[in-house]
């Protein structure tokens, strides 16, 4: 099943190579991504949420001399990332249907390529395979930015590549260290069961943590993100914010916590305070933005702070909240970028000051934009509330000061989102052109309504997602040895 899911995007690229008509290229790409989503739903339906270990495991000897295998599988954590990836890629095709008019075949091929690569990253059980496809995800994103991006696309693309390559080199160092210290194997499951010395844990954790922190991105490694978002086409921003950032959080859960529990405990106080800083800093920076895309980009910095906060409190509530927050952030932020892209397609402007009064010409758009905006700051009844609530519950076992400061970040999120809604949707139109804008077409509605349904469904009934990850999170916490870091570092947590 997983191998078929990995192969389908590449088969779609091959089929598109023989299609000349651009309309049919789009249809082939959309059909391929819908097949992927259908396979992901079958995988989800067949998944046994009561089991802790990997399921649907496939292993084939690849390079026996170096103990390298083609090995894939999913557990309750990775299957959610697979679902998120396959959900967003069809929406990327739809939002690019009329927005991308040049080199259509190349653009659609890049989306399918990045989808296939991300699926391998989230299912790989061999570190060599993981690293190869981790690197591959960078290439489609780079070309999306520099070929279809905004006026500063070259600088943004180069900055993205430099940061990504730095993280990749650190990841390679960590993987080679694991290979040498873990019995010369790349098998992720075997390496997770090994015991490493304190010194080994310290240095390998540091290399892998920095690699994943750059990808997330954590403060202070975040500066590439606003530039990449502001210059990327809408589909590029959706892929970047919706899925690629989650690779960092997934790396923490798959590598740092189970393999290096002692080092994780050692670094946890500093990571938690950095997470709180990211929540507040991202909110303040979002308040200062006049560009719609940059505002949403800085909100991502703040929201991903909740993810690292939940992961490094080392309890079930915090980790479940972090995983749910990754999934929910992928939905709400992707939806906001889609909405910004729909406005940009009409006006070719992302400046907040160029809008106003959109509730009159575009009532359908404003209703959906309002839902996604209030979901982004965690309004009860929407998806982000559940994830942030669980993270704060998990953090309350460690430090009430961190909980209070993080809640300040939620207040900031409400401030910048409501301010943006007021400027864009309410009041009077700032220009005559805005008064005549057409409302969302059927294709545009089909792009965002599935996300609106998920925002409300997860917000009101998160049970299926929680049950899916529960056994895997319980197993991960047991691997950490039920670490009680509050007792280990009483001076760090007020």
**Cβ of 487: how many Cβ atoms within 10 Å?**
8
The token duo for 313 is 């409190």
Distance in angstroms (rounded) separating the CA atoms of residues 351 and 88: 26
**221-256 per-position pLDDT tens digit:** 888 888 888 888 888 889 988 888 889 999 999 988
**335-377 per-position pLDDT tens digit:** 999 999 988 888 888 888 888 888 888 889 999 999 999 998 8
Is 422 domain-assigned? yes
Quick one: what percent of the chain has pLDDT higher than 70? 97
Quick one: what percent of the chain has pLDDT higher than 90? 47
pLDDT of 489 higher than 60: no
Is 347 domain-assigned? yes
How far, rounded to the nearest angstrom, does the alpha carbon of residue 361 sit from its chain's CA centroid? 33
Is 453 domain-assigned? yes
**444-474 per-position pLDDT tens digit:** 899 999 999 999 999 999 988 898 899 888 8
State the chain's mean pLDDT as an integer. 88
pLDDT of 484 higher than 80: no
* Residue 216: φ, ψ to 5°: -60, -55
Is 494 domain-assigned? no
Is 493 domain-assigned? no
Is 251 domain-assigned? yes
**Cβ of 8: how many Cβ atoms within 10 Å?**
21
The token duo for 456 is 């409300």
pLDDT of 488 higher than 70: no
Distance in angstroms (rounded) separating the CA atoms of residues 317 and 387: 9
Distance between first and last Cα of the chain: 48
Tell me what pLDDT residue 196 has: 85
Cβ-contact 332, 383 below 8 angstroms: yes
Task: Name the domain count of the chain.
Answer: 1
**398-453 per-position pLDDT tens digit:** 888 999 999 988 999 999 999 998 888 887 777 777 778 888 889 989 999 999 99
Where in the sequence is the domain holding 475, given as residue range(s)? 2-488
Among 373, 490, 458, 457, which residue's Cα sits nearest to residue 423?
373
């Amino acid at each position: 099943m997983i191998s078929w899911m990995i192969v389908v995007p590449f088969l779609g690229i091959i089929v598109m190579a023989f299609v000349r008509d651009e309309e049919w290229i789009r249809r082939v790409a959309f059909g391929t991504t819908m097949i992927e989503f259908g396979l992901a739903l079958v995988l989800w339906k067949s998944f046994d949420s009561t089991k802790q270990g990997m399921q649907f495991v496939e292993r084939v000897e690849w390079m026996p001399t170096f103990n390298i295998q083609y090995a894939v599988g999913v557990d309750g954590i990775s299957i959610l990332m697979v679902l998120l990836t396959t959900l967003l890629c069809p929406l990327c095709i739809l939002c690019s249907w009329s927005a991308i008019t040049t080199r259509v075949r190349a653009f659609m091929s890049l989306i399918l390529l990045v989808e296939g690569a991300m699926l391998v990253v989230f299912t790989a059980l061999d570190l060599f395979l993981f690293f190869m496809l981790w690197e591959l995800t960078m290439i489609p994103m780079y070309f999306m930015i520099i070929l279809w991006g905004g006026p500063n696309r070259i600088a943004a693309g180069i900055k993205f590549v430099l940061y990504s390559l730095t993280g990749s080199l650190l990841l390679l160092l960590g993987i080679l260290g694991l290979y040498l210290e873990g019995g010369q194997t790349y098998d992720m499951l075997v390496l997770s069961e090994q015991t490493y010395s304190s010194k080994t844990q310290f240095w390998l954790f540091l290399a892998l943590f920095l690699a994943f922190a750059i990808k997330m991105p954590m403060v202070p490694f975040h500066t590439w993100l606003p530039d990449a978002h502001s210059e990327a086409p809408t589909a590029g921003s959706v892929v970047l914010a919706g899925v690629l950032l989650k690779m960092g959080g997934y790396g923490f859960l798959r590598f740092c916590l189970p393999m290096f529990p002692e080092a994780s405990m050692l670094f946890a106080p500093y990571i938690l305070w950095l997470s709180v800083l990211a929540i507040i800093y991202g909110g303040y920076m979002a308040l200062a933005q006049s560009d719609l895309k940059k505002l949403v980009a800085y909100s991502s910095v703040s929201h991903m702070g909740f993810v690292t906060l939940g992961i490094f409190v080392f309890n079930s509530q915090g980790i479940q909240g972090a995983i749910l927050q990754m999934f929910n952030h992928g939905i709400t932020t992707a939806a906001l970028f889609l909405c910004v892209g729909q406005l940009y397609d009409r006006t070719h402007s992302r400046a907040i000051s160029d809008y106003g009064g959109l509730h009159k010409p575009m009532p359908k758009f404003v209703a959906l934009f309002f839902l996604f905006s209030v979901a982004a700051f965690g309004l009860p009844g929407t998806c982000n509330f559940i994830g942030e609530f669980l993270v704060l519950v998990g953090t309350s076992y460690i430090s009430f000061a961190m909980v209070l400061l993080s809640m300040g970040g939620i207040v900031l999120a409400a401030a910048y989102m409501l301010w943006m809604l007021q400027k864009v949707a309410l009041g009077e139109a700032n220009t005559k052109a805005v008064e005549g804008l057409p409302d969302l077409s059927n294709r545009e509605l089909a792009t965002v309504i599935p996300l609106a349904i998920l925002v409300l469904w997860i917000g009101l009934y998160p049970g299926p997602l929680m049950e899916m990850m529960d056994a895997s999170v319980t197993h991960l916490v047991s691997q950490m040895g039920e670490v009680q870091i509050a007792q280990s570092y009483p001076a760090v947590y007020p």
